[in-house]
Chain A
Amino acid sequence: MDIQFFIELFFGGLTRGSIYALIALGYTLVYGIIGLINFAHGEVYMLGAFTALLIAGALGVYGFPAGGILIVAALAAIVWCSAYGYTLEKVAYKPLRGAPRLSPLISAIGMSIFLQNYVLLAQTSDFVPFPNLLPEMDFLEHIDYVMGASDFLILMVSTIAMVLLSVFIRYTRMGKAMRATAQNRKMALLLGINADRIISLTFIVGSSLAALGGVLIASHMGQVNFGIGFLAGLKAFTAAVLGGIGSIPGAMVGGLVLGLAESFTTGYFSGNYEDMLAFGILILILIFRPDGILGKATVQKV
């Protein structure tokens, strides 16, 4: 047993799992509040990566300092993706709130295709390189075989984000309103909660997290492409379902579990089947335990 290899895989899994978790949170928040699988959520993640890339590139050309660029680019990504998420909801989902389940789902798929091609046409189909903007992290020198600067950043940032989200959901007024609306929208309305605003807020929060994930992954992989949203989105959705769709800790747990599973599979078996693992898990979970790890079994009322 090569312990070093194991630890490497472990931290690698945590890293990618954190990204999945960030995206998965968006899925689970939206599903919890309006019961819709936001098919276009993966595209928001991709938009986050691209926005960061473009802003970073522009700032780089104008001579900003490297560390500052990353922060500004990340903020820009968050701001713009929140706007994209908000617009997405207003245009494609809100008008379909009363419609049968099929309609918003197809609308979501349509928006996903639209956004992908929008970026493709506006930019390029190639893989676009993302500059290395990370500061030197000397304190990582001793464990650099398991954790580089980028991994460290991802783990740190995503952990902070998730903690902030948990605090927000649990303790703030807005967070409570979100939980209330998710549990019983009519009642929340009767209590004076503006459900529309809360739903928009949910999309904004989810999109911000996805955008953050996009920035982190762009920086980590060093390149961005219009198609990364599709696969990442599906895998993150798998993670959300794995943990129990609608459950926030579930999304985090699901993301990490999926990340670790993928990492170990790639390490000990083969990289070719990595993607299939996620789909396989998805299918198995939905068939055998659709409520996921942390979910509760629900009974259908006739």
Chain B
Amino acid sequence: MQRILKAAIAALWFMLLTLPVLGIKLNVAAKSVIWRFDRILALGAGIFVLALIWDWCFTRKAAGIKIVTLPAGFNLAEIIEAFRNRRGLRLGGLALLAVVLLGMPMVSSFYQTNIMISALLYVMLALGLNIVVGLAGQLVLGYVAFYAIGAYTYGLLNQYFGLGFWACLPIGGFLTVLFGLGLGFPVLRLRGDYLAIVTLGFGEIVRLTLQNWNSVTGGPRGVSDIPRPGFFGMSMDITASTTYIYYLVLAAVIITIVVITRLKNSRVGLALQALREDEIACEAMGVDITRVKLSAFALGSCWAGFAGVIFAAKTTYINPSSFTFMESAMILSMVVLGGMGSIAGVVIAALILILAPEYLRAFSDYRMLLFGAIMVIMMLFRPQGLISGERRRYRIGALHGAEGGRS
């Protein structure tokens, strides 16, 4: 009973709170005011329900019970473990995935293929950011700057020097790494909040430079007529070209996943994670944290550079407005949602966050609103993300193969 009262009070509070912004619709030209009480009441009802759920969630959280208990045996981490354990299952799953991913362009429309390309690019970005934020624990808010640098590398090198896609791909990666180191170096001593803000500033400075340096970067107009990647000099129409780019991005994503997985499960990856856990202890144990931090920035940023070059090739037209803080925030939310450091989690989260709005057209207006809400809700109820508690598998000689194979 008390719960209902609390929910009612909450509903009333929010109705009053949002009264001006939600309830008033000014028509400046006609100098009239429309009172949208219908929206207020709808909100009230919604909040009432939400408050009950919220309260229930918090009660369970306080009591230590998991909020969402999936039906027994449906533990996400366990499923993934099962895949890793049983070879047959793993190969079967991968084969299925391969069929779906490879066959996709054949059965889908041009539009859908484009969306998948977009989603896969975000997967790359999220994986790259995952190295810096998820593994190394360095909160970077301006990640989209590296994306922009990659894209503009291709755009500008093509515009001024006529360099092609394949030439610009490594150059883009290289330049991005330079910027990554350039950002990493001055911020070595910064922690947490301050690091986040400085990287945010970095991201904005890059965007503003691209926007204002008209003579070089084309300013707000950006760079256009960027050629698509060539396939042994063949000329392709737009559909074929898009399909080609799809396979390109798919290959890139697979390479990214493989490389990052190997990095994570190596001496380098271990050092990154130790850095995230406790910098001082890490340094005391003989880890050169300057070097590790800079590695994190370099390793994290290069993927954004590659993705940026591909992005420029895909859209053939880039301008600064594609590289705002919102993008950085979105990529960050993918890392947070997926589970910091978890590669599978981040991939899934990226795909969900990009594909869901496309297929839930009704909500597309509310996309950013939901982004924000999801970030808050995840932090409140599941800060560890979708997939957490992944363990690397070790084969210990002394135990003579009591454990299974390595990952």
Contact = CB atoms under 8 A, between A and B. Distances in A.
A–B contact, 8 Å CB criterion (strictly below) = yes
B362 interface: no
B33 A57 contact: yes
A122 B17 CA distance: 13
A280 B206 CA distance: 11
A87 interface: yes
Nearest to A53: B26
Interface stretch (A108-116, A160-168, A199-207): A108-116
**B-side binding surface: helix, strand, loop or mixed?**
helix
- Max count, chain A CB within 10 A of own CB: residue among B26, B196, B336: B26
Interface string B314-330: 00000000000110010
A278 to B, nearest CB: 8
A78 interface: no
Interface residues of A, number: 64
A282 to B, nearest CB: 5
A87 B13 contact: yes
Interface in A214-243: 230, 234, 237, 241
A122 B21 contact: yes
A61 B368 contact: no
Contact of B376 (A100, A110, A230, A290): A110
Contact of B17 (A50, A83, A117, A120): A83
B389 interface: no
B357 interface: no
Contact of B383 (A37, A62, A99, A115): A99
B164 to A, nearest CB: 32
A266 to B, nearest CB: 13
Interface stretch (B197-205, B252-260, B303-311): B197-205
A273 B198 CA distance: 18
A286 B21 CA distance: 36
A107 B379 contact: yes
A105 interface: yes
Contacts of A37: 193, 196-197
Nearest to B22: A122
A84 B137 CA distance: 31
Given A54-B26, A117-B369, A283-B198, A107 B375 contact: yes
A61 B31 contact: yes
B21 A123 contact: yes
Interface in B150-200: 186-187, 189-190, 192-194, 196-198, 200
Contact of A112 (B139, B201, B366, B372): B372
Contact of A92 (B39, B192, B201, B376): B376
B201 A279 contact: yes
Interface in A59-109: 60-62, 76, 80, 83-84, 87, 91-92, 95-96, 99-107, 109
Contacts of B383: 99-100, 103
B28 A57 contact: yes
B329 A51 contact: no
Interface string B242-270: 00000000000000000000000000000
13 contacts: A54-B26, A80-B20, A87-B13, A100-B383, A106-B375, A109-B332, A113-B326, A113-B329, A113-B369, A115-B372, A116-B372, A117-B372, A286-B190
Nearest 7 Cβ contacts at the A-B interface: A110-B375, A114-B372, A113-B372, A279-B201, A110-B376, A117-B369, A57-B26
